[in-house]
Structure 1
Amino acid sequence: MNSAARRHCLPLSALLLSPFSVAAAPSPTSLPAVQVQAARVPGVDPFALPASLDTVWIDADRSGPNTQLSEALGGVPGLLARDRQNFAQDTQLSIRGFGARSTFGVRGVRVLIDGVPATMPDGQGQLSHASLLGAERIEVLRGPFSALYGNSSGGVLQVWSAQGQAGDPWRLRVNAGADNTLSVGAQLRGAGKGIDYNVAANHFSTDGWRDHSRARRESLNARLGTELAGGRLELLLNALHAPNAQDPLGLTRAQVTADPRQATAVAHQYNTRKSVRQQQAGLRWTREAGAQRWQLMGYAGQRAVSQYLPIPPSAQRNSELHAGGVIDLDGGYGGLDARWGWNGDLWGRPLDLVVGVNADRQRQHRTGYENFIGSTVGVRGRLRRDQIDIVQNVDQFAQAWWQWSPRWSLLAGVRHSTVRFESDDRYIVGRNPDDSGRRRYQATTPVAGVSFEASPQWRLHAAVGRGFETPTFNELGYRADGQAGLALDLAAARSRSLEVGSKWHAQDGRQLDVSVFRADTDDELAVASNTNGRSTYRNISRTRRQGVELQYRQPMAEQLELQLAWTWLQAQVRSPYLACAASNCAVPDTVVAAGSRLPGVPRQQAYARLQWSPGDWQWALEAAASSDVVVNDIATERAPGYALLNLEAGRSWTLQSGDLRAFARIDNVLDQRYIGSVIVNDGNGRFFEPGPDRRASVGLQWSWR
């Protein structure tokens, strides 16, 4: 069964299913039991939780490159994961419209990999070091209960690797495709002599579909476990090396029309590029004893980033406050997490409690350099910025799940977060003063929801909660008034979320899940100006995100399965504010009226997959569609909607020494021109990142025990 199809998706009423009831359906394939932790209730079936939670299973027989998480997330409603055809920037990820404004990395969504945060304490995260090769599943949590993960939790995405078991296969995998794209990986998984292991290493390289988009990545992910002190101890290792990934930058509409594969001229002129090197390790100890359970986790890592931007020398020469056209970040991060759980009874009814505390800290040495020496551009020149940035949080949380009657249950929780920012300026030259500063943000975010069992196969739920989102260090970096120093006047955004939903899961494998949601935000963070390579931010008054999510799965016949997902999302401004109408505008001058759309958020998304698996063969037809997207606050530009078809085929052979699988995939079968992703509020009007034309890839996988 395909990973995109294997998920919990449950529904509104049997009436909605009546058109499909004529199809014969085999008994559903049993899935391995897992301890879903996305809602911090490890002892409770996610079907009984008042939350929208999907589990995407990563099958070993996946087709395609297997290099980016976006390959596996197309069928999750409410989630937008866009491949930018630009490995110098991370996958664009947003959930229910949160995170859509991010121009790089992941913003507004919490990301964790094997329980280790991939989102820093300030809310800035990345997906680049997550591995599909070693992953077992991806959990996606949407709605009010995301707030239990603290700062910038508009949604939560967790990647979990499998625990090695005796007899697990080892495998080698190679995939090759257009544009000299090559992915080679190896996974060693198993158990023996008191140790279990899951180690995955991968090499990826491509010349890129667009000009000036060559990239290379090497990654290693490992999960090693053993028994210790009556519990389980796990060592989690991760390494990523991505040197000199070329950045083709965005295109204007005219450039897209002329040649969507081109790179902006300044990308060549300045050789825009980005290098990343990251290593991290974590230790997690868990123990269950009777009704109690404990978990202790600690992690630490080092991340270095160097990026060359196309900022003209004139902008840097004309201002002593300019930080230059080369960004260099180098620093460490780490954290601790401790929690205690208990399950028992309250007044004779099941009760599950979790309480805990966690602390995270990042210390980053941020330097900036001119991107020119004399008349030569695209090189590292004179120092223009030198500061130590520290951000740390200390959070406490508690949660209780209580089934107070045979058909009703309550899930409630609260989290208190304190996030501290501190910057020590070490570049004090001429008219550039000491820009040191500090700021503290605090928030208490309560969440509660109820679930009603209408029948053993049908659940109804409702949930409400509050959340908050601090500025990141990138957003604090410049003041909107153009003066020196950090934008320490920025407030944290505060949100109120509501969700009602229905989950239905028939024993014959049919599943339907429907959710209706609304999130109102005060002090939303938005771009104030974009000029000379500097983005400044400010708080706007009120925004609203509301919509409907639906997903459905139908076993139609033996070895034939249909999966559907659809999202309608209205994300708009509720209070007017001023924004910049022209490129390099320093002072907002145009009214954005109440009711205007938030940029980067499509009104509708749809996904369908029909998979047929006769014997040793596997065939799949996949469709993905998106409506148009506004790309700037004043809505003068937008990316049109699109619909794409993809095809997959695979064949397996069982041999005496192992299993061999050959597979192929064709993306964009109809060779459509479309905009794959957008750069929201780009200061030069280069909003568009075109998606590729028809692409084919083939691969082989060898598995043995």
Structure 2
Amino acid sequence: MKIISARRASLPLLFVPVVFGPLSAMAAEEQTLIVSATPQAVSELDTPAAVSVVRGEDLRHAAPRINLSESLGSVPGLQIQNRQNYAQDLQLSVRGFGARSTFGVRGIRMYVDGIPATMPDGQGQTSNIDLSSVESIDVLRGPFSALYGNASGGVININTQTGQQPPVVEASSYYGSYGTWRYGMKATGAVGDGTQAGDVDYAVSTTRFTTHGYRDHSGARKNLANAKLGVRIDDASKLTLIFNSVDMKANDPGGLSYQEWQNNPRQSPRGDQYNTRKTIKQTQAGIRYDRQLSAQDDLSVMMYAGEREMTQYQSIPDTAQTVNRAHSGGVIDMQRHYQGIDTRWTHRGELLVPVTFTTGLNYENMSENRRGYENFVMNNGAPDYGVKGDKRRDERNLMWNLDPYLQTQWQLTQKLSVEAGVRYSSVWFDSNDRYITPQNGDDSGDASYHKWLPAGAVKYAVTDAWNLYAAAGRGFETPTINELSYRPDGKGGLNINLQPSTNNTYEVGSKTRIGNGILTAALFRTDTDNEIVVDTNNDGRTSYKNAGKTRRQGVEIALDQQFAENWKLKMAWTYLDATYRTNVCNNADCSGNRMPGIARNMGYASLGWEPEEGWYAGADARYMSDVMANDANTAKAPSYTVVGLNTGYKLNYGKWGMDIFGRVDNLFDKTYSGSEIVNASRDRYYEPAPGRNYGVGLSVSYRFE
């Protein structure tokens, strides 16, 4: 049986959108948001969009440096939770986009030094991010995130450190509860000041992480390496080489029903029975060329390539595979190759008023060989699980995108500016079935999706320290390869009824500089058609469907403040009302229900005494309201508040530096679900979080001055 699904549109002949945007005439050195994968400076105050910048120093302060979830709680609108399951990655969503993901990251574009951590189909991961070498993390929410193309309900851009003088070598380690151990080395430095031909900068980091895990069958180990080398070619150009590698093995404890959670939150009955686990090996490299063509023109070219190998053993009973001969098995064996290029040209000038425009072309492609096997062999008439058995799937999947984009910026008056951009996103998917039997026909198929993605904003500078803005934009999200691969009826073949979702977002906001800090507030609403949601989740196999219409609306407020020289205060609150506007349930009317996996209220507060040297201490508190676990809203995870404390000592002695700290998390031993598996089969929604836990860390550095 040949299955072909296609949704095609022709590229209009005229690519002449009228777009505008702000260019700060009073501070030309401040760069506002640039729609490109190439890392750029982001101004929280001047960018007419909801954007938060988190410094690498804050990420590493008295922290294990293992997961992004440790330190991004201060970002409003970002819901990031640790599943306590390294086989399935963090659960991450921005204003509700990505909340449906049962593993990995969906609906959010992620970049590390300009290299996408999100594939062309919108599927991403955080496992290759080295927190020890992060310089900054930019989190973009709202209309302008749509200008990053497919599956950009939010954008997370990670920039790693660029080496500078003097050279520094650092060794760091962390040891915590449940046998958690991380240790690593980092070296940064430069030859020259980076302005002369032949100047070189470098940053190299390597980390090893191991843990027994809080839950049974949740142990993991990960080796991670990251390197960046910059070479100044001449006065006008620079070449940067980037390398990243991750090698990980992790057991998968799976989800629990509410009764299982209450009886014993650390148990893993399916993990023990099926020996569920995952191994990942990924290596990627990139090269970025930046050249100043003239005083008004800049050129940037980013090229990258990588490969990823993954093997996963799932908790699927043998009967589900033997009864249905079209079943693809309980073992996924995948090899993936991906590469891309992003070329960007920026021009600054005047056309009655100061104007800047950026235009570029982004191309990405991915090819994967995906095979499925039974996760058992028969031994004396009984299944022996956790062993690769007979082949049940063999296919080659291709996906690629070609996206031209344009953004211009106009400073209409000293106080008033407008900004807008447009991207024409085209995504192609093609699957070639190489496993054809009498019981399993040819399930090959293809699909293509095309969409104009415009966005615009108006900014008014009330004072030099207070900006107001309004923004609007359209985004879209295609199904991922995994989401297209499985049909709700359990039969083989592509899920041809699954269509991309489209959304329109409107936002107004205020940003105010207060002393050494910033206060931001945003009011937003997003209406989505054909929202992609979980349909069925049975025996480890998840299928998806379109949900008609949904609405997300809410408020985000954040304060990042430093006062009295050494005191630091961070506060954030998010109210997010995410509901279905049409029925998505098979056996009941769910219109008006809350969307699962999304907290209606989230709060964060931290206060710390952080001098340059000597003793320091801090406390943080995180609140999350209850979270619905299924579309019918018949199950939910209760609300919770957790508190953490840390203290440490920093010492600088000549060329040596030392930082030693201790911390306790979940101080009051709160019992709560750290994340939820949306619409999980047999009501196994809950992934319990650990109770009170402890950790100590040490870093020692030496400066070659």
Does 1:299 pair with 2:304? yes
The whole-number CA distance in structure 2 between the counterparts of 1:158 and 1:533 is: 31
Structure 1 position 39, deviation (Å): 4.7
Does 1:601 pair with 2:605? no
Distance 1:343 1:497, change over 3 A: same
**Contact (CA 8 Å) 1:628, 1:638: kept in 2 or not?**
yes
Name which of 524, 547, 550 aligns with 2:554. 547
Structure 1 position 533, deviation (Å): 3.5
The whole-number CA distance in structure 2 between the counterparts of 1:175 and 1:65 is: 6
Structure 1 position 377, deviation (Å): 1.2
Name which of 525, 528, 533 aligns with 1:526. 533
Give the secondary structure class of the aligned counterpart of 2:73.
coil
Worse-matched range after superposition: 398-407 or 476-485:
476-485
The whole-number CA distance in structure 1 between the counterparts of 2:527 and 2:221 is: 41
Name which of 239, 245, 249 aligns with 1:239. 245
Does 1:282 pair with 2:286? yes
The whole-number CA distance in structure 2 between the counterparts of 1:44 and 1:645 is: 31
**Contact (CA 8 Å) 2:373, 2:392: kept in 1 or not?**
yes
Give the secondary structure class of the aligned counterpart of 1:224.
strand
Name which of 664, 677, 680 aligns with 2:678. 680
Give the secondary structure class of the aligned counterpart of 1:311.
coil
The whole-number CA distance in structure 2 between the counterparts of 1:36 and 1:133 is: 27
Deviations 1:649-688 (A, max 9, x none): 1101122341111111110111111111111111131100
The whole-number CA distance in structure 2 between the counterparts of 1:80 and 1:346 is: 42
The whole-number CA distance in structure 1 between the counterparts of 2:217 and 2:537 is: 24
Does 1:154 pair with 2:141? no
Name which of 566, 569, 592 aligns with 2:573. 566
Name which of 53, 61, 82 aligns with 1:55. 53
Report 1:166-315 matches (<5 A). 166-192=165-191, 194-228=199-233, 230-243=236-249, 245-263=250-268, 265-288=269-292, 289-315=294-320
Match of 1:18 in 2: none
The whole-number CA distance in structure 2 between the counterparts of 1:384 and 1:44 is: 48
Structure 1 position 531, deviation (Å): 2.9
Worse-matched range after superposition: 526-535 or 164-173:
526-535
Deviations 1:593-630 (A, max 9, x none): x2110000000000001111355121111011100000
**Contact (CA 8 Å) 1:647, 1:666: kept in 2 or not?**
yes
The whole-number CA distance in structure 1 between the counterparts of 2:328 and 2:640 is: 39
Letter in 2 for 1:320: R
Match of 2:415 in 1: 407
The whole-number CA distance in structure 2 between the counterparts of 1:80 and 1:407 is: 34
Match of 1:360 in 2: 364
**Contact (CA 8 Å) 2:230, 2:241: kept in 1 or not?**
yes
Match of 1:420 in 2: 428
Letter in 2 for 1:590: A
Aligned residues: 659
**Contact (CA 8 Å) 1:438, 1:488: kept in 2 or not?**
no
Structure 1 position 351, deviation (Å): 1.1
Which segments of 5 or more consecutive residues in structure 2 lack a partner in the other structure? 1-28, 192-197
**Contact (CA 8 Å) 1:49, 1:411: kept in 2 or not?**
no
The whole-number CA distance in structure 2 between the counterparts of 1:387 and 1:550 is: 47
Give the secondary structure class of the aligned counterpart of 2:147.
helix
The whole-number CA distance in structure 1 between the counterparts of 2:358 and 2:608 is: 40
**Contact (CA 8 Å) 2:298, 2:346: kept in 1 or not?**
yes
**Contact (CA 8 Å) 1:364, 1:389: kept in 2 or not?**
yes
Structure 1 position 325, deviation (Å): 0.5
**Contact (CA 8 Å) 2:574, 2:603: kept in 1 or not?**
yes
Does 1:621 pair with 2:619? yes
Match of 1:392 in 2: 400
Distance 1:46 1:610, change over 3 A: closer
Match of 2:8 in 1: none
The whole-number CA distance in structure 1 between the counterparts of 2:286 and 2:222 is: 22
**Contact (CA 8 Å) 1:43, 1:352: kept in 2 or not?**
no
Give the secondary structure class of the aligned counterpart of 2:259.
helix
Match of 1:382 in 2: 390
Letter in 2 for 1:315: A
TM-score by length of 2: 0.91
Q: Identity of counterpart residues, as a percentage?
A: 43
**Contact (CA 8 Å) 1:654, 1:660: kept in 2 or not?**
yes
Name which of 496, 499, 504 aligns with 2:512. 504
The whole-number CA distance in structure 2 between the counterparts of 1:597 and 1:337 is: 39
Letter in 1 for 2:582: S
Deviations 1:115-155 (A, max 9, x none): 10010000000011011101100000000000010000000
The whole-number CA distance in structure 2 between the counterparts of 1:465 and 1:154 is: 11
Report 1:137-152 matches (<5 A). 137-152=136-151
**Contact (CA 8 Å) 2:146, 2:153: kept in 1 or not?**
yes
**Contact (CA 8 Å) 1:267, 1:310: kept in 2 or not?**
yes
Distance 1:181 1:36, change over 3 A: farther
**Contact (CA 8 Å) 1:38, 1:140: kept in 2 or not?**
no
The whole-number CA distance in structure 2 between the counterparts of 1:256 and 1:38 is: 46
Letter in 1 for 2:88: Q
Name which of 479, 483, 501 aligns with 1:475. 483
Worse-matched range after superposition: 681-690 or 40-49:
40-49
Structure 1 position 491, deviation (Å): 1.2
The whole-number CA distance in structure 2 between the counterparts of 1:227 and 1:627 is: 51
Q: What is the Cα-based RMSD across aligned positions, in Å?
A: 1.5
Deviations 1:460-504 (A, max 9, x none): 000000000000011101223444310123211000000000000
Give the secondary structure class of the aligned counterpart of 1:306.
strand
Does 1:434 pair with 2:433? no
Deviations 1:529-566 (A, max 9, x none): 23343322221210000000001134443422322100
Does 1:484 pair with 2:492? yes
Give the secondary structure class of the aligned counterpart of 1:255.
helix
Distance 1:189 1:320, change over 3 A: same
**Contact (CA 8 Å) 1:68, 1:131: kept in 2 or not?**
no
Structure 1 position 185, deviation (Å): 1.0
**Contact (CA 8 Å) 2:536, 2:680: kept in 1 or not?**
no
Structure 1 position 391, deviation (Å): 0.5
**Contact (CA 8 Å) 2:534, 2:678: kept in 1 or not?**
no
The whole-number CA distance in structure 2 between the counterparts of 1:231 and 1:37 is: 22
Structure 1 position 34, deviation (Å): 8.3
Which segments of 5 or more consecutive residues in structure 1 lack a partner in the other structure? 1-32, 580-587
TM-score by length of 1: 0.91
Report 1:46-85 matches (<5 A). 46-59=44-57, 62-85=61-84
Match of 1:6 in 2: none
Structure 1 position 96, deviation (Å): 0.4
Deviations 1:406-427 (A, max 9, x none): 1111111000011000000000
